[in-house]
Structure 1
């Protein structure tokens, strides 16, 4: 299970989500861009800034709820810890943050 944070190209919106298949879910978000009925479509959130793997659904749901309750500043700190340059994460080239996020 994965908890992830997306942003829009301007970096003005953060979206916290949960999935068991991160690649599929990111694809779904990218296909829904412009759909006014969904948050990520309305705000053009399709850039992966942060993600973490959790061992089971119970822990992932708890972590998602925890992060959703945080202030924007705290979410930004979480992102910066993994991805200090705020470069969109490409799962195809991601190496755990050693180069894709500028570490």
Structure 2
């Protein structure tokens, strides 16, 4: 089969299945679990470089958080409040790593970088 067709198929399939709700599950995965997500198999089959899960996660996280910031009627909109400088967002104080690795704190850290 043509390499371009295989590459397109695996990219679309992987991105749609794994990233359907990546912002919900990827942040709370351990490093071992993230490495267990086999992406290299698709790269070996297509013989091309596919974007990493970390890149996809940060892209989706940024896109989703910007959508929440733009929508004042979103329930999580009030959690994204700017500091007095107007450049950075106020970080949420978290006591547990489970909360620290959830969507809102990670999105704020990503937007502040």
Using the size of structure 2 for normalisation, the TM-score is 0.26
Larger Cα-atom Rg: 2
Write 1 or 2 for the structure with the bigger share of strand: 1
Write 1 or 2 for the structure with the bigger share of helix: 2
Using the size of structure 1 for normalisation, the TM-score is 0.28
